[in-house]
Structure 1
Amino acid sequence: MNVNIEKIVLQNTPLNAQYISNKTQKEILSIYSTKVRKRIRDEIGEDGKFCILVDEALDDSKKEQMAIIIRFVGCDGHIQERFFDIVSVHDTNSSTLKSDICKVLGKHNLLVSNMCGQGYDGASNMRGEWSGLQALFLNDCPYAYYIHCFAHRLQLALNGAAKEVGLVWRFFSMLNNILNFVSAFAKRHSKLKLTRQAEIEELLATGRLGTDKGANQIRCLQRPGSTHWGSHFNSIRSLIDLFGATKTLLTDISHNGPTSQFRGEAEGIKISMLSFDFVFALKLLDKTMRFTDFLCQELQRKS
């Protein structure tokens, strides 16, 4: 379909060439990424000031990698954030991280002296006052001020405070048990969705449920993350929406489960889920976390 490609490719290669080998695919991706980085570099400008945001990013094999994001003011005067590169690191020593970041920046003619901000998490190797990554960059560029993400700090504070409250700790422990049991098998997962679908249809038929755009979607139970407090709120909201369907599924398994172990486990989880303490904590956290979730979202706005 493209005349230029046809002249080069179809006339100079075998007709059965498909270009789907792993090596060829990586070469194509490398060309794309190079062009994207060049475009970002052009957006920043020759002497443009920029900030870096760095965080850990594990791949599927759990290999440690470093994600680098560039933040700058674009030609239109608006703040832009661009994912720039992901680098494999053999250790997370601050000097090693600095060396790898400088290599990436230097490769694209981005001067460290033009850096005017650093954004990392609160790990000691990143925020250390004397030998942390932020301190090493400050030695080279005194205006590269370090900021620990406010939303991340809030989430860490919420996690720390919640773990000190017995009722809350027991609630999230029980919530994980429910998620593990329901999501252990695809069959249970599918049955939960079918039960929820039947529940929605019944509520719609009796007029007890609205029909707004985007409403009444069949959701799944969501698992809370260890440091992402916003995911805890999403997990609570999903359980509230699927509370009736989850209870029905657990009742069915406790009566018709394949083994006595499954039946007993389902009955025990159902009893705990219907207990006063669990339901009270569910409603209490739903109310309080609406405020904390709103604050987390506000702290992540570009302004």
Structure 2
Amino acid sequence: METSSLSLKSAIDNLFAHHDLSLMKVRGQSYDGASNMKGEFNGLKTLIMNENESAYYVHCFAHQLQLALVAVARKHVDIADFFNIISTLMNVMGASCKRKDMIRQKQAKKVAKGIKSGLIETGKGLNQELSLKRAGDTRWGSHYRSLLNLAALFSYVVEVLEVVSCDATDSSKKVQARGLLRYLQSFGFVFNL
């Protein structure tokens, strides 16, 4: 999808025309701080205000809160360390198709066993495959989803790290896996998670 200010303005014009709305009645607009949105000369804010000076711009409060939350989390040493270690864990687990497949197979076996025993319901949207995903810096929700998936797959992650710590041919990978295992099984990790 094209996200230039001109294409976004065109999409808004089309939406307003489709619903018989007038841009002249808009009294406010709010976006994140990207240049295509609030740019002084060619941003969407400016294009709309050129047509309607009463469509005042306010930086999106949710985005401001997001930026403040990330800044505060980075200033807290334990939480910053926690997310750095989570990032390392995502690198270790995501760097190998074999490791990703091990987690996927373990999860599939558990779901199949749960369905067979009647402990897990089946239906549309249920029992979706989970994976470990790297969190994005600009959306705190991605940190949350990443941590939820880690918590759901925790026992599998530990099992895979145990395999790597014993069977890896590269000694640095063994050391890294052992360090991650120690951290994941610590009170500090559980508390921060």
TM-score, length of structure 1 as denominator length: 0.52
1:158 counterpart residue number: 69
Identify if the C-alpha distance between structure 1 residues 235 and 258 changes in structure 2 by more than 3 Å, giving closer, same or farther. same
Q: CA deviation at 1:229?
A: 0.9
Identify if the C-alpha distance between structure 1 residues 124 and 200 changes in structure 2 by more than 3 Å, giving closer, same or farther. closer
Does residue 222 (structure 1) correspond to residue 162 (structure 2)? The answer is no
Q: Which stretches in structure 2 are left out of the alignment for 5+ residues?
A: none
Local SS of the residue matching 1:155: helix
Aligned residues: 187
| Greater helix share, structure number | 2
Q: Distance in 1 between matches of 2:37 and 2:48?
A: 11
Q: CA deviation at 1:118?
A: 4.0
Local SS of the residue matching 2:8: strand
Q: Give CA-to-partner distance per residue, 1:170-189, whole Å, 9 cap, x none.
A: 11111101100000122221
| Greater strand share, structure number | 1
Does residue 68 (structure 1) correspond to residue 5 (structure 2)? The answer is no
Q: Distance in 2 between matches of 1:66 and 1:199?
A: 50
Q: CA deviation at 1:256?
A: 1.2
Local SS of the residue matching 2:58: strand
TM-score, length of structure 2 as denominator length: 0.77
Where does 1:101-140 land on structure 2 (aligned, <5 Å)? Answer: 114=24, 116=26, 117-122=28-33, 127=38, 133=43, 134=45, 138=49
1:200 counterpart residue number: 111
Q: Give CA-to-partner distance per residue, 1:209-264, whole Å, 9 cap, x none.
A: 43253333321012111111111110011001100000000001111112222222
2:54 counterpart residue number: 143
2:120 counterpart residue number: 210
1:268 counterpart residue number: 179
State which of 65, 86, 91 in structure 2 corresponds to 1:180: 91
Identify if the C-alpha distance between structure 1 residues 276 and 218 changes in structure 2 by more than 3 Å, giving closer, same or farther. same
For the 8 Å contact 2:115–2:122, the answer to whether it is kept is no
Q: Which stretches in structure 1 are left out of the alignment for 5+ residues?
A: 1-32, 34-53, 57-64, 80-112, 283-303
Identify if the C-alpha distance between structure 1 residues 153 and 67 changes in structure 2 by more than 3 Å, giving closer, same or farther. farther
Q: CA deviation at 1:151?
A: 2.3
Q: Distance in 2 between matches of 1:217 and 1:140?
A: 47
Q: Give CA-to-partner distance per residue, 1:10-41, whole Å, 9 cap, x none.
A: xxxxxxxxxxxxxxxxxxxxxxx9xxxxxxxx
Q: CA deviation at 1:204?
A: 5.1
- The structure with the larger Rg is 1
For the 8 Å contact 1:224–1:232, the answer to whether it is kept is yes
Identify if the C-alpha distance between structure 1 residues 166 and 186 changes in structure 2 by more than 3 Å, giving closer, same or farther. same
Q: Distance in 2 between matches of 1:74 and 1:131?
A: 25
State which of 160, 163, 166 in structure 2 corresponds to 1:249: 160
Q: Distance in 2 between matches of 1:144 and 1:173?
A: 42
Identify if the C-alpha distance between structure 1 residues 178 and 246 changes in structure 2 by more than 3 Å, giving closer, same or farther. same
Q: Distance in 1 between matches of 2:117 and 2:163?
A: 24
What is the percentage of aligned positions where both structures have the same residue?
Answer: 32
Q: Distance in 2 between matches of 1:210 and 1:125?
A: 46
Q: Distance in 2 between matches of 1:75 and 1:138?
A: 21
Q: CA deviation at 1:191?
A: 1.5
Q: Distance in 2 between matches of 1:176 and 1:272?
A: 13
* Aligned residues: CA RMSD: 3.5
Identify if the C-alpha distance between structure 1 residues 138 and 218 changes in structure 2 by more than 3 Å, giving closer, same or farther. closer
Q: CA deviation at 1:196?
A: 2.0
